[in-house]
Amino acid sequence: MTRTLERRSGEVDPGLASQLRLSIRRLSRRLAIERDPRESLPVNAVAVLGLLHRRGEVALSELSAHERVQPPTMTRIVRCLEDADCVVRRPSPSDGRVTLVSLSPRGRDRLLLHRQLGDAWLSQRLAELAPEERDLLSRAAELLEALSHRD
């Protein structure tokens, strides 16, 4: 490590938030544009499949909290997944108000397919970077994910 040029705590570069915010927004937009037209499911629906894959059976309210959408929006997403036979839904045995959602075998297949299609454009761009740059982005991705969940 070279001599540090870092600011003391509290003295944060005022341009960083702007720069990061705009670059996040722009890449998010670009990713939406470069989405493969064969991807039949909405991005958010694929994200839900991913969550179900990791966590098993999850209550709808938990899905909506995790994806940070309102309950009616999650109802819509889950219905879309149900129509595509990607999830199954059942009332909680312990609380009849709760709807438990879980991945179907077909949903698992679709998740893998969509990941492949969805990652294609970005994978290609990442492959053109230097290995150090990919390492940097890998660590950055963890930080960004954590930031998203901060209160």
- Residues of this chain that interact with its own copies (CB under 8 A) are 4, 6-7, 9-10, 12-14, 16-31, 33, 43, 47, 50, 68, 115, 118-119, 122-123, 125-129, 131-145, 147-148, 150
Judged by beta carbon distances under 5 to 8 A according to partner kind, the member of its own copies, DNA, none in contact with residue 142 is: its own copies
User: Which 3 state secondary structure label does DSSP give 96?
Assistant: coil
Q: Does 55 participate in binding DNA (rule CB under 7 A)?
A: no
Give CA–CA dist 138/42, Å, rounded.
25
Query: Token pair for residue 134?
Result: 């990919």
Measured distance CA(21)–CA(113) in Å, rounded: 30
Q: Rounded to the nearest whole angstrom, what is the least distance from the CB of residue 91 to its own copies in the complex?
A: 29
- Surface-to-core class of residue 46, CB atoms within 10 Å of its CB (0-12 exposed, 13-18 middle, 19+ buried): buried
Question: Cα separation of 58 and 125, whole Å?
Answer: 34
Query: Binding of DNA at residue 44 (CB under 7 A)?
Result: yes
State both tokens at 61.
């309210």
What does 18 bind: DNA, its own copies, none (CB cut-off 5 to 8 Å by kind)? Answer: its own copies
Helices within the chain (DSSP H only):
14-33, 43-55, 60-67, 71-83, 105-127, 131-148
Q: Judged by CB under 7 A, does residue 90 bind DNA?
A: no
CB of 16 to its own copies, least distance (A): 6
Residue placing its CB nearer to its own copies in the complex, 11 or 97 = 11
Q: Which does 112 bind (CB under 5 to 8 A by kind): its own copies, DNA, none?
A: none
Which residues of this protein are in contact with DNA, per CB under 7 A? 29, 33, 42-44, 59-61, 64, 68-79, 89, 95-99
